[in-house]
Amino acid sequence: MANKKFSEFTSQTDSANVQFVVGYNGSDNVRISPSNLLGAYLPLAGGTMTGNTIHGDNVKSIYGSPGNDLQIYHDASNSYINDAGTGLLKLLTNGLEIKNAADDSYMAFFGSTGASELYHNGSKKFETTSTGVSVTGDATFPDDGKALFGASYDLQVYHDGSNSYVRDTGTGILYIDSNGTGVNIISDGSSATPMANFVKDGAVELYHNNLKKIETTATGVSVTGNANFADDGKAIFGAGGDLEIYHSGSASYIKDVGTGHLVVNATDFVVNNSADTKNMIIATDGGGVDLYHNASKKLETTASGVEVSGTVDITQSSASDPVLRLTDDGVANYDFIFPDSSTIKLETSTASDKTFKLINAGAGVMNLELADNGKAIFGAGGDFEIYHDGSNSYIDSIGTGDLYIRCGTDNESIIFQNDDGAGGLETYFELQGVAGGASPFTVFPDSSNLVFGAGHDLRVYHNGSGSYADNYTGVLQFTNYADDSDIIFRSDDSTGGVTEYFKVDGTNHRVKFSKDSTYSDNVKALFGDSLDLEIYHTGSHSFISEQGTGSLITLATDYQLNNSANSQNMITASDGGAVTLFTAGVAKLATTSTGVSVTGQVNISALNTAVTNASDTGTLGEIRFTADYIFVCVATDTWKRVAIATW
């Protein structure tokens, strides 16, 4: 072929019309027959590659028109599959595995019809299921990162760096619903440090420092220890707050602020000083009422009237008005008039007993009336006062000793009534003298509330069908402070009696169950500070799930895993002996002192990866099966093989 310029060559599409392909090899012109090129290079129309295609750093394999839609390349630091064009990047597969470069550890797996799985360091951590997702280990949220529930994120669970929150921010009510035996609120992740227990169909218990303090019962509420109210904090009774008991910081009050009477019923009634060393008032059922001054009795009622020890001082209202009028039976009236400066005394110098009576000789009754803010004052120091200030009525114990309200009538009660909000009276509670005996009863009618807190925060009541203790603010605690004592939970035994279901054992520091403990489907028994161990039933299967740190360890002298009928062994293990695996109750594999013993046939469900050479990586005793060979590792990284043939 004569020498020609490249510009003189014509373009050909049929290799039959081409004698040579010319080019330049860096130092000289060369020519190659087209037949030599056709076998070594992939035609533009496509074909089958029989070798590798090697792309240098930043050399891209580009797909799509105009040529930038999909790019595959390596930039000397990282590898890229770059969807740079229009449309989606679709991976169509019957199953997708993402593994490490050594092909021995999963990173992700995506099944075509089953689960999608995500791994950490070869350990599966996240898996989709037919009902949702399954997480192995913790689902960790940063501070202020929230677990959100509901279409409008109505329920939020999070930690803000300082505190933890379960917040109902949407519509409706936040329910804590238990179909089991109840709900326990504990501290430090231990049932030995309870804060509150809510027993289904039973008591609500509130604790302080692990000791039960308040417990609801079938008849009301039981308090262990004191019920302390701050100054001006009131125990309020009645639907209209008609009766108040409180201390103002300077005085103590039993305050009737509603309609009706303040009724105090007692068998015997005693008012003593605060040190309980001096009597102030003593009222005896069927007997007298004694009034004292500095522990010295000054007035005593008798069957015929009263007896006064000492002087009766009466203040005169005016010089012209009688201070005291006494009427003897069948005798004319006697008026006693005292001047302003006089000391008013009612005295007798006779040796015989005298009776002081306030009697209307006519058909009506006689009232003892004191004006507003006029007080009936008792005690040398004005310790006890009864008065009305124009707006409210008061019984004030402002001196020493206690205030006793007593009813001494046999089989009678002290009944506390107040306005019912409708112009009538309602019994708010009563001290029953007929029912209690040595174990007295304080009775609150159905639907009456024993209320604590300025905002009526704790309410204890019985509505005629059930008993309730409702807490609206703060923590509800039940605590037993008695040393080595228990908190015992009892209920009906279905035979007309009661029996113990479980107790908080204060002696042995544990909770002892005397009856079965039942958990509903998908309700878990959780153990460990981080809820590391779970035991539950989903409705289809039962699980013992180790979710946290450490291993799941079963300790036993001898161990058996049997069928649900307990009629066949599935696994047995003996301390110092064999571990045996069974099929249908028949032992199939057992460990021995030298290895294992198999009863029956050993089936290999899949072939292994072939050993590439006699020094391939392996451990002593490892055996691999392929379609052509059986490989045995006779020493570390040392293999022997035997061929397998058909016949």
Cα distance between residue 41 and residue 63, in whole Å: 19
Q: What element of type H or E holds 35? A: helix 34-38
CA angle centred on 396, ends 366 and 225, rounded to 5°: 135
Q: Quick check: 603 and 588 in contact, CB under 8 A?
A: no
pLDDT greater at residue 268 or residue 193? 268
- In the block, tokens 């087209």 appear at 34
Cα distance between residue 181 and residue 139, in whole Å: 28
Read off the pTM: 0.38
Q: Report whether pLDDT(639) > 70.
A: yes
Please report, for the chain, the start and end positions of each structural domain, with discontinuous segments joined by +.
Answer: 1-51, 95-135, 182-229+453-513, 259-418, 558-598
Q: Quick check: 125 and 135 in contact, CB under 8 A?
A: yes
| 155 Rama sector, left if φ>0, alpha if ψ -120 to 50, beta otherwise | beta
pLDDT given for residue 391 in this prediction: 92
In this prediction, residue 336 has a pLDDT band, given cuts at 50, 70 and 90, of very low
pLDDT given for residue 641 in this prediction: 93
- Does a cis peptide bond (omega within 30 degrees of 0) precede residue 66? yes
Radius of gyration of the chain (CA): 48
How many Cβ atoms are within 10 Å of 449's Cβ, its own excluded? 20
DSSP type of residue 15: G
Question: Region 580-586: what's the mean pLDDT?
Answer: 92
Q: Report whether pLDDT(18) > 80.
A: no
Cα distance between residue 262 and residue 243, in whole Å: 8
| Sheet hosting strand 569-574, strand order edge to edge | 558-562, 569-574, 579-583, 586-591, 596-598
Q: Quick check: 461 and 481 in contact, CB under 8 A?
A: no
Question: Region 353-378: what's the mean pLDDT?
Answer: 74
| Sheet hosting strand 467-471, strand order edge to edge | 375-378, 384-388, 393-397, 252-256, 243-247, 235-237, 449-452, 458-462, 467-471
Q: Report whether pLDDT(235) > 80.
A: yes
CA dihedral 45, 47, 49, 50 (to 10 degrees): -140
Q: Quick check: 476 and 214 in contact, CB under 8 A?
A: yes
Question: Region 293-304: what's the mean pLDDT?
Answer: 88
In this prediction, residue 67 has a pLDDT band, given cuts at 50, 70 and 90, of low
Q: Quick check: 294 and 303 in contact, CB under 8 A?
A: no
116-120 vs 458-462, strand pairing mode? unpaired
- The CA distances from residue 520 to 292, 436, 535, in Å, are 66, 42, 12
pLDDT digits (tens, 9 = 90+) for 382-430: 899 999 999 999 999 988 889 998 888 888 888 889 888 898 999 888 8
Cα distance between residue 179 and residue 376, in whole Å: 59
Q: Report whether pLDDT(521) > 90.
A: yes
Q: Quick check: 239 and 420 in contact, CB under 8 A?
A: yes
Q: Name residues whose C-beta falls within 8 Å of residue 90's C-beta, 6 or more positions apart in sequence.
A: none
Q: Quick check: 181 and 517 in contact, CB under 8 A?
A: yes
The secondary structure of 576-622, three-state, reads CCCEEEEECCEEEEEECCCCEEECCCCCCCCCCCCCCCCCCCCCCCC
Residue of 445, 457, 428 whose CA lies nearest to 206:
457
Q: Quick check: 287 and 317 in contact, CB under 8 A?
A: no
Q: Report whether pLDDT(329) > 60.
A: no
pLDDT digits (tens, 9 = 90+) for 168-199: 888 888 888 887 788 888 887 777 788 888 88
Structure tokens at 58: 């930043």
pLDDT digits (tens, 9 = 90+) for 83-119: 877 888 888 888 888 888 888 888 888 887 888 888 8
